[in-house]
């Protein structure tokens, strides 16, 4: 399988990869060691196996094989297509197999509320100083006590520039061009993102707790619903490339990926603003192999590894030392690494009070089931 096999998949597409253990040989000249493997509690699983739960675009066969070559630890990577699916897995008690998980920012806040995450022993982690300052102290996990940022990006519109003229510039484009886009556009399957886009289109914040503003966001989306082909975070990609869709709401990493296959596919961050997301590595309290989890986190923080993975899989690393090793073309790719002028009009998704979360869930259920 090619080292770029993930380029055929979207960020949120299901993929299950299982690799046989390789010989424990080190990478020549890496000048780097894994975290000390020591046990603070009895192991409940094979110490030579690590199970990871992640998004598909963060994993490829080369990455897993090289980790196994360094450590002798066999990796099994399962993937999910939304934070809600990941959270439901843990709430159903089915997440106990995983020692490393890759939730998005607001999902980390939910996992903390549910007391699912272990506090990190930072004395066992090398390379945290390379994480950019703006990702060092998150609003959802102060002091980054439970997570290590691994990727970041924006949410926007991915479209066929050959078929859409004028091109989309803002969220209102969806409503203004609903006839052209009818049944040829998709929105994400993430409630906070979709309701948030409607909120920003009306001048409200992604993080509003105002019931009247949330109601207006739902009503505006309900008005657009007949023109929406589906709500999906992954299945749009092949349809967009085939010409069956004209536009998809998606993540910056997906915008870069589809442009690799067809340069006519463009990605735009709406002018009125969008979300600024971060995905991270965490260790669940129920992790069966925390020793291997620390080894994985240290491996991913190695600048050469982080840079190589970004070059292969096209996600934005928050690791400054890794960024400095990227090719000029990738560093200058504004879809992947947007300028400050774009970042300034984006919002992080903040944890919301339970009452607001319940209202969003109510509107989401009505929107997607009607």
**For 46-104, what is each residue's pLDDT tens digit?**
779 999 999 877 889 999 999 999 999 999 999 998 888 999 999 999 999 999 999 99
The answer on whether 363 is annotated among ligand-binding residues is no
**For 161-211, what is each residue's pLDDT tens digit?**
999 999 999 999 999 999 999 999 999 999 999 999 999 999 999 999 999
Residue 327, C-beta contacts closer than 8 angstroms, at least 6 positions apart:
311
Mean pLDDT, rounded, for 133-153: 94
Q: What is the pLDDT of residue 332?
A: 95
| Domains contained in the chain, CATH given | 5-152+277-331 (3.40.190.10), 153-276+341-369 (3.40.190.10)
pLDDT at 8 over 60: no
pLDDT at 286 over 50: yes
**For 307-337, what is each residue's pLDDT tens digit?**
999 999 888 999 999 999 999 999 999 999 9
Report, in this order, helix, strand and coil percent for the chain, each rounded to 5: 40, 15, 40
Residue 349, C-beta contacts closer than 8 angstroms, at least 6 positions apart:
104, 105, 106, 192, 193, 196, 206, 207, 275, 277
| pLDDT confidence tier of residue 27, bands split at 50, 70 and 90 | very low
Strands (E), the chain: 16-18, 49-54, 74-79, 100-101, 148-160, 185-187, 228-231, 247-251, 265-268, 274-281, 346-347
Q: What is the pLDDT of residue 45?
A: 53
Q: What is the pLDDT of residue 350?
A: 87
Q: What is the pLDDT of residue 220?
A: 98
Q: What is the pLDDT of residue 56?
A: 78
Share of the chain above pLDDT 90, in %: 79
């Amino acid at each position: 399988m090619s080292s770029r096999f993930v380029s055929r998949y979207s960020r949120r597409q299901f993929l299950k990869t299982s690799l046989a253990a390789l010989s424990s040989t080190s990478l020549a000249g890496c000048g780097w060691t894994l975290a000390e493997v020591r046990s603070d509690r009895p192991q409940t699983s094979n110490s030579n196996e690590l199970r990871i739960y992640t998004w598909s675009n963060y994993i490829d066969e080369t990455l897993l094989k090289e980790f196994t070559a360094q450590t002798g630890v066999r990796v099994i990577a399962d993937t999910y297509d939304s934070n809600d699916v990941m959270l439901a897995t843990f709430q159903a008690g089915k997440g106990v197999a995983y020692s490393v998980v890759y939730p998005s920012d607001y999902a980390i806040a939910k996992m903390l509320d549910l007391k699912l995450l272990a506090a990190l022993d930072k004395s066992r982690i090398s390379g945290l100083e390379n994480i950019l300052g703006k990702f060092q102290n998150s609003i959802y996990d102060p002091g980054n006590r439970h997570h290590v940022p691994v990727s970041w990006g924006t949410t926007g519109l991915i479209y066929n520039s050959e078929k859409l003229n004028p091109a989309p510039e803002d969220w209102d484009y969806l409503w203004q061009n609903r006839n052209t886009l009818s049944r040829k556009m998709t929105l994400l399957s993430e409630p906070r993102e979709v309701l948030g886009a409607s909120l920003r289109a009306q001048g409200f914040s992604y993080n509003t707790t105002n019931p009247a503003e949330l109601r207006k966001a739902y009503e505006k989306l309900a008005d657009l619903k007949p023109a929406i082909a589906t709500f999906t975070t992954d299945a749009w990609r092949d349809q967009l490339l085939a010409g069956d869709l004209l536009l998809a709401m998606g993540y910056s990493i997906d915008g870069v990926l589809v442009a690799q296959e067809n340069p006519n596919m463009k990605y735009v961050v709406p002018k009125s603003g969008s979300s600024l997301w971060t995905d991270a590595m965490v260790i669940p309290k129920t992790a069966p192999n925390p020793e291997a989890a620390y080894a994985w986190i240290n491996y991913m923080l190695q600048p050469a590894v982080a840079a190589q993975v970004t070059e292969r899989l096209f996600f934005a690393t928050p690791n400054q030392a890794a960024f400095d090793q990227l090719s000029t073309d990738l560093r200058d790719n504004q879809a992947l690494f947007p300028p400050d002028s774009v970042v300034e009009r984006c919002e992080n998704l903040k944890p919301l009070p339970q009452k607001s979360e319940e209202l969003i869930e109510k509107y989401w259920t009505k929107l997607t089931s009607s």
